[in-house]
Structure 1
Amino acid sequence: MGQALPKPALRPFLAEDAPVLAAIFAASVEALTGDDYSEAQQQAWASAVDDEEEFGKRLASELTLVATQGNSQVGFAALKGGDHIDMLYVHPSAVGQGVAAMLCDALEKLAGGRGAKSLTVDASDNAHEFFLKRGYVGKQRNTITVNGEWLANTTMQKTLAGNAAPGVPT
């Protein structure tokens, strides 16, 4: 009988997390997006973390949460401008353990608590189904250029529940 994994927990981003989160970002892109993006597209996408200092500044400029399991970082998510999920990445070894759902739940609650009526995300093709199951609706298809490679994603939006007090039906 296998040992149960510790339940994931959330905490705020710390500057010293940047190198580990950059590695999670790159590992996630490399291991989880191959069905939807070419190797050249994956390499261009993963290059966003080549400059760890700049990546750390980006994370620090947004509301970034880090998911941990035991003493290890296993994922992270960042809220930009109060109503846009800028990044949501989980290490491949932690996929399927509720980490992404926990991160997304937290961002949705934080955004709603700050008065956002809806939340948007530019979901990669491999993340589209995850957001669809959470009630996000596709609004428009996008193509962006990253280091000379075209990458497709879909802007998705979810209307957040009313900002009523806890326990009060909306």
Structure 2
Amino acid sequence: MSGPNTPALRPFLPADTPVLAAIFTAAIEELTGDDYSSDQQEAWAAVADDEEEFGKKLAGELTLIASLNNAPVGFASLKGKDHIDMLYVHPSAAGRGVASALCDALEKLAGGRGATSLTVDASDNAQDFFRKRGYAAKQRNSVTVNGEWLTNTTMQKTLQDGGQP
């Protein structure tokens, strides 16, 4: 049983795309300002401007949605069996265990798919979150998104016993 303060998780449905695009944009605009310039944030958030493409990306991966009080507040997606592609939480729900619940689920799913480790290209503002979960930094990356260069760090965690840390 999940209480009102415990995020409920469910699979992504195509109809969720507009809500997830809004969560994606809000998370970038409100939670990454200490680490990225406004031009970088704008370019990054613009990934969700084409909702059809954004929806295809979400549908092409194993995407989970976290809800509080039946309202979607975050989402995460597993690309292949061993890479966390996206993990975004709406600013209004930050610090309420949403990202942890999503990450726990992806780690279990990855383990269930036979992955022995999980990687993530963590944005600068997400590195502490992943570090506390046992992910170790492997390399720094610079990627170009809509004409802006963004830095992130590839981090990796070894999974044991079907995703249990």
Distance 2:82 2:107 in 1: 9
Q: Give the structure 2 partner of residue 146 of structure 1.
A: 145
Q: In structure 2, how many angstroms separate the alpha carbons of the residues matched to 1:16 and 1:163?
A: 31
| Identity score, percent | 72
| Paired AA for residue 14 in structure 1 | L
**Where do 5+ consecutive residues of structure 1 fail to align?**
none
Larger Rg, first or second structure (1 or 2): 1
- Residue 162 of structure 1 deviates from its aligned partner by 2.5
Partner residue, 1:23: 22
Aligned to 1:134: 133
Query: Where has structure 1 moved over 4 Å in runs of 4 or more?
Result: none
TM-score by length of 1: 0.93
- When the two structures are superposed, what TM-score results if normalisation uses the length of structure 2? 0.95
Letter in 1 for 2:11: P
Amino acid corresponding to residue 105 of structure 1 in structure 2 = D
Amino acid at match of 1:13: F
* Equivalent in the alignment of 1:82: 81
Match of 1:73 in 2: 72
Query: SS at the partner of 2:162?
Result: coil
Q: Which runs of 5+ in 2 are unaligned?
A: none
RMSD: 1.6
Return the letter of the residue paired with 2:139.
Q
Return the letter of the residue paired with 1:42. Q
> Is the CA contact 2:62–2:79 (under 8 Å) kept in the aligned structure 1?
yes
Tell me the residue number matched to 2:113. 114
